[in-house]
Structure 1
Amino acid sequence: MSLFKFFSCYFLLFIDVVSKILYVYDSIANTISELFGRQNITFPCDYRFKLNQRDLQIYDAFKGNNYVELSQKYKMTERGIRKVIDRVYKRMIKEKQPTLFDFNDA
């Protein structure tokens, strides 16, 4: 088999695979447009998730008197560290403690 036939055979196989992939992508795009056409859909970034992860790391590293160390480690102000710790503490309390009056049962 000549080198030309060898490469042409693989080239045709490559073109066939690419055309099948494009067909699948086209089918997915058509399905999405049929299901969600004329709707605004937003995809959130991981920014909030990363902030929450950072906040939990700060809270876990907090020992009660190491605001300065944490502010240097996370490149934040001491006041910012205090706000993060307070925010995570309030969120954890809210998750653990049930509400006194639940008006959603009506």
Structure 2
Amino acid sequence: MSEFRSKGPELLLDLTEHIAVALGELVAMESAKAQHVAKEVADRMAAHWGGQNIYFPMGLSIKLSRRDRQIYDEFNGTNHSDLARKYGASLQWIYKIVKAARKEHIARLQGDMFSPATDD
């Protein structure tokens, strides 16, 4: 790893360290093997995206979507206030989430009226 450290840019070093830790935590991979796999992943990312400016989104919309889906799943028609307290959101925000999630749910159930029908 010292050769990689001396040549590798800071981002790739940080990426390698995070991947190695994740492999150890998530799949209980032995440390030396996790470091090897992490270095390989970082090398491949560098080969594939090297020289490009890459923006890593924070993933807030995904996290919010998960939270919104959880709120909708827990909604029982009368627990707006409970959900607002539980998720630290305003009552109005809970109403908005439930309304949007319901609309999405109904749209998924109905499907696209203009898409060609398929016989399964």
TM range (shorter): 0.5 to 0.7
Q: 1:18 to 1:57 in 2, by over 3 A?
A: same
Relative to structure 2, which stretch is displaced further, 40-49 or 72-81?
40-49
Q: 1:55 to 1:24 in 2, by over 3 A?
A: same
**Equivalent residues in 2 for 1:73-92 (5 A)?**
73-92=86-105
Residues 64-104 of structure 1, C-alpha deviations (whole Å, 9 max, x = no match): 1111111111121111101001111111222232211239x
Equivalent residue number for residue 45 of structure 1: 58
Q: Percent identity?
A: 32
TM-score by length of 1: 0.60
2:2 to 18, 31, 50: 18
Gaps of 5+ in 1: 1-16
Q: 1:54 to 1:30 in 2, by over 3 A?
A: closer
Equivalent residue number for residue 58 of structure 1: 71
Larger RCO, structures 1/2 (Cα 8 Å, 6+ apart): 1
TM-score by length of 2: 0.54
Gaps of 5+ in 2: 10-41
CA distance in 2: counterparts of 1:77 and 1:23, whole angstroms: 51
CA distance in 2: counterparts of 1:96 and 1:49, whole angstroms: 22
Secondary structure of the residue that 2:55 maps to in structure 1?
Answer: coil
